[in-house]
Amino acid sequence: MPDRWDWLTEELRVWAAGGLLRRRREIRPLAEGRCWVDGHVAWDFASNDYLGLATHPSVVQAAMSALETHGVGAKASPLVCGRSDEHVRLEQALAEFEGTEAAIVFPTGMAANVGTVAALASEGDSVFCDRLNHASLVDGCRLSGARLRVYRHDDLDGLSRSLARESSRRRFIVTDSVFSMDGDLAPLPELCAIRDRYGAILIVDEAHGTGVFGQSGRGVGEMLDVEERIDVRIGTLSKAIGALGGFVAGRRELIEFLWNKARTQIYSTALPPAICAAATAALQVIRADSTGRDRLLQRSAAFRNALVRSGIVPYPHSVGPIVPVVLHAPEAAIEVSDSLLKNGFLVGAIRPPTVPQGTSRLRITLHAATPDNALESFVAILAETCAGRV
């Protein structure tokens, strides 16, 4: 009789043949923005720790102090007995940082997106989801039971026409502020105008905006001066903040509703208190000093200019620390990524289904602390490795 798991073997074979099989790596952080990857020492151009706060002394010390008091795990869901004083402090710090009445913490950014969208929208509603939104937003829209409509942020006339035709009870517009694979920004002022025109509820995930954009580091909404018109602000603690988890900030009724309705909050063990303490300390660093954020954005612009001078054209609308270089074929993305690692640079190779067919790419992420000489060397090696491919 055939093995009942033969189909798994065949699926893996097909993925491998198409350059789509993912590998597991062992990675350890080293000093000054380097890391150890499967026997190679490399500069990190792959992680989302844009400001280096995951290893900031005050952030690490806050985690260690809380670890001594609370131990490792939170022991239960927040509603049962998992919400510690560190969770309370973090939620208060997030509300103060965001300038909102309240905030709620989720165990991951994915849990925040899935849980929030699925809790707010339901059967009888419509959700309008940008086609390039993160998978967690897409999954939240699908799980909500609402009618799903997909739009393109380069075709807002199409979004307006779709909204005008909808007769559903409630209409939600759901978008990332920074699209994680293209590195471009959502047209938030235009989306806010559409939200106003049609009485929609606007949900924005600032996962890659928090800590990076805006005078205070609150994200793209702050930078474009539309924060007050965004109904639901979602963020993550696991990127520029350097910790783990997700959050929602907004009016008190919204937070109370999510506390009682969001399944990813109710049925997940809470974040470890030490992680909450670390995130609170990281927020203090972001609020106290914009030097890292300013340096990050300045070198992001300089890096793009250096790529163009070397003959590499990054994704034309990307801004900030996410710099995609499209290589089209998944095999090409893997080959270039592997070659860069051998030369001492860790860069992510992004392939379908994360990005559309034919757009496999390198996803380069920049960090405030990377030395200038490492950036210069990276540009030179990247130009040599990508010659004839872009």
* Residue of 47, 180, 268, 360 with catalytic role: 180
What are the residues facing 204 on neighbouring strands? 175, 233
Answer yes or no: are the C-beta atoms of 146 and 122 closer than 8 Å. yes
Confirm whether 87 is a catalytic residue: no
Both structure tokens of 69: 């008091």
List the one residue out of 206, 279, 205, 273 whose CA is nearest residue 241. 279
Radius of gyration of the chain (CA): 21
205: alpha, beta or left? (left if phi > 0; alpha if psi -120 to 50): beta
Residues 379, 387: Cα–Cα separation, whole Å: 12
| C-alpha angle 168-171-174 in degrees, rounded to nearest 5 | 145
Confirm whether 239 is a catalytic residue: yes
Both structure tokens of 158: 């199409």
Residues 368, 385: Cα–Cα separation, whole Å: 24
Residue 362's SS3 state is strand
As a 3-state breakdown, the chain gives helix, strand, coil percent values, each rounded to 5, of 45, 15, 35
* Residue of 208, 300, 318, 367 with catalytic role: 208
Sign of the alpha-carbon torsion through 326, 328, 334, 335? negative
Which residue's structure tokens are 């109370």? 256
Confirm whether 261 is a catalytic residue: no
Sign of the alpha-carbon torsion through 69, 74, 80, 84? positive
* Residue of 239, 300, 318, 337 with catalytic role: 239
Q: Where are the beta strands (DSSP E) in the chain?
A: 27-29, 34-37, 40-44, 102-106, 126-130, 147-151, 171-176, 201-205, 232-236, 246-250, 322-328, 345-346, 348-350, 360-365
List the one residue out of 28, 103, 129 whose CA is nearest residue 280. 103
Q: What residues are labeled active site?
A: 180, 208, 239
